[in-house]
Amino acid sequence: MTIIHIDKVSKFYKMGGEIITALDQVSLDIEQGEFVAIMGPSGSGKSTFMNIVGCLDMADQGLYALDGTAIHRLKDAQLAEIRNKKIGFVFQNFNLLPRLTAYENVELPLIYRNIPRKEREPMVRQALASVDMLDRQEHWPAMLSGGQQQRVAIARSLAGDPAILLADEPTGALDSKTGKEILDIFKRLHEHGRTVVLITHDEWVGAQAKRIIRFKDGRLL
């Protein structure tokens, strides 16, 4: 089953008096349960692609359908709901809230979905357990190492059982040993049926995925 369908998508930006083509007629499909790496140098279009797939930005031309839903037809409130329910985001710098514990950081997107407290608790605990962080659930982010913070961030992305995990340079702020541990988590999640889309410029990181999609100058190679 196709979970991400991109058909002739283009994105343009105006810089000064010049029109910059960030994406140029990009077409591709990603199937449910795939582990895909999106690769390319700075300015290649991979970040723009990630923003469109993550419903953080809209294509200027073409069609993007996520899990069968045509994204261009949605209003802002519907897009926010899609981001909260369908997409689990993992960022390079973790983006944990410093005044919330690990447990509370993972719980937050479930609160936004108005899930009752009694239902949230097992969801949060299961997500933390899946990344071996249940014993650190009462720790503040400042009490955790970089690798532990990224584990909590992954747990947060998993808590609502999203259709896809979208990871933007998830090992970029980590040393190589810790980065390997984080990639092992993504591989394990993939083996359990998760769809993982990994944005990276690192060849070794990209090689851990099952399929590599390369961008250059806004086009697919």
Q: Are the beta carbons of 174 and 206 closer than 8 angstroms?
A: no
Question: By C-alpha distance, which of 81, 198, 105 is closest to 159?
Answer: 105
198: left (phi over 0), alpha (psi -120 to 50) or beta: beta
Q: Give me 27's structure tokens.
A: 């077409």
Q: Residue 16 has what pLDDT?
A: 86
Q: Give me 110's structure tokens.
A: 């479930």
Q: Residue 43 has what pLDDT?
A: 87
- Averaged confidence pLDDT in the chain: 95
Q: Are the beta carbons of 218 and 40 closer than 8 angstroms?
A: no
Give the burial string for 25-61 (b: 16+ CB within 10 Å, else e): ebeeebeeebbbbbbbeeebbbbbbbbbbbbeeebee
pTM of the predicted model as reported, rounded to 2 decimal places: 0.92
Specify the CATH superfamily of domain 31-57+73-220: P-loop containing nucleotide triphosphate hydrolases (3.40.50.300)
Please say if the pLDDT value at position 73 is more than 90.
no
Angle of CA points 5, 7, 9, to nearest 5°: 115
Q: Are the beta carbons of 5 and 29 closer than 8 angstroms?
A: yes
**Residue-by-residue DSSP string for 139-160:** --GGGS-HHHHHHHHHHHHHTT
Please say if the pLDDT value at position 15 is more than 90.
no
Q: Give, as one character, the DSSP assignment of residue 1.
A: -
Give the whole-angstrom CA distance, residue 102 versus residue 100.
7
Q: Are the beta carbons of 90 and 149 closer than 8 angstroms?
A: no
Count CA atoms within 13 Å of residue 19 on its CB side.
Answer: 7
Please say if the pLDDT value at position 8 is more than 90.
yes
Give the whole-angstrom CA distance, residue 61 versus residue 180.
38
pLDDT tens by residue, 77-116 = 999 999 989 999 999 999 999 999 999 999 999 999 999 9
Q: Residue 202 has what pLDDT?
A: 92
Following CA atoms 206, 212, 218, 221 in sequence, which dihedral angle do they give, to the nearest 10 degrees?
130
Higher pLDDT residue, 73 or 148? Answer: 148
Please say if the pLDDT value at position 42 is more than 90.
no
Q: How much of the chain, in percent, has pLDDT values that exceed 70?
A: 100
The pLDDT of 205-217, averaged and rounded, is 96
**Residue-by-residue DSSP string for 62-128:** EEEEETTEEGGG--HHHHHHHHHHHEEEE-TT----TTS-HHHHHHHHHHHTT--HHHHHHHHHHHH
